[in-house]
Structure 1
């Protein structure tokens, strides 16, 4: 059987064009934010548009707002990626088939390959696939990691300016119990829980045991990392992260809890129809069985 290099090319092109446009926007906004911080650009005189005047006298506040815009582009990209994943399911198959095609080194068929050659081909295809995904992930994560981890006080300053909260003290220290910091911690818990869920899915096929394992590992690892990165005690980090993780756990399991009665009813109905089918087969066999008496 020949290995085709293309599968649903229109979907692949649409996904590529969208990713490239969003990546250019992310890097453009990110570079503008860095330039604002380096040159200390301020809006002392304000900007007026259709009667609305905005004045930002601090360069850090302006840089924080730009970083918030960059994160919003990330959110929009992830949302559209989910929509495209539903519309163009074949994009994933295209990457898998393209990896196999590259690993064949110009050949177009798997016929005539030995078992060792098949294993080597599989290893090469996985290497291509992992390398491609690593490059794409790195391109997307560089601005995000820089903003969230290295420029967190500036980002929080922009959030404070937008939502009128206080997350950073005048001397530059982060207020750990501020709404913005708790929201950011919850986002960390969501992302890390999703990664752990994918990682543990094969080893823990049962939903409830996997959910508990994800929560325990997430709380432990995030507490250690947060305590080390912020230079605070484990107790201070544990309380905030455990609260965020419990909130994530409730959001995660609530749909399953609400759907459980319907799932049980559906499973019971299927068993009932199977039982009725079994009785019908027994009656049919009894009718067909010759009467020896």
Structure 2
């Protein structure tokens, strides 16, 4: 079941399945900003990543002497969330652990995702609560896809991903869903990545050292696009498929395993280890340009 939020400026449609955005556009325009999903390229739109980001080595981890199988990006994106509260401009979705989730990830949790329309943009507030008696290792991320090009008559080559600051940063190659520990030079005092047909031939662009906390996917010709603010998310991914008419801007608290991963969640790079009874909160913002 989906619901629509509208503040007179923006119109946002969100589904209970995965608490996933389904549509994002200006209230007075038919132009759709969110990727609408296509099995020929990628059939999702804006999934939430929990309790892992990316892939585990062998899609497994070990906890308490038992091996668990957990697929790429975790299970939250495929679970039905409950609606905890709703107004004309906001909605809160909640996912609790159950027997099904505990067969994949043996921890008791509460994941809350709240959408708010304000100031011409969308705030997405996350809260993870550990309701178990043990420490809970997890990662959290967002994976929104945006139409690119945005309108007919434009080309991908007219778009860039633009950061708020000039960056000197490596990208970390992805092979078989696993992220290398060794970075490759990507940005050298630059604040933009030009997009083109070959940009994503090597997979996602994964960054670990960005100074910027905002990034834009924007047309150099029209100035239209989207801006994502990701304060508190230390990792950032940019992803599409060659020839696909979308680009994902992905803030992450966590990252996929490297090829030499130990298999223990507690050992994962950037893993959040939440004490019993504690909560973890992050907020990202999306603004239409």
TM value normalised by structure 2: 0.22
TM value normalised by structure 1: 0.22
Higher relative contact order (CA 8 A, sep 6+): 2
Q: Which structure shows the bigger proportion of residues in strand conformation?
A: 2
Q: Larger C-alpha radius of gyration, 1 or 2?
A: 1
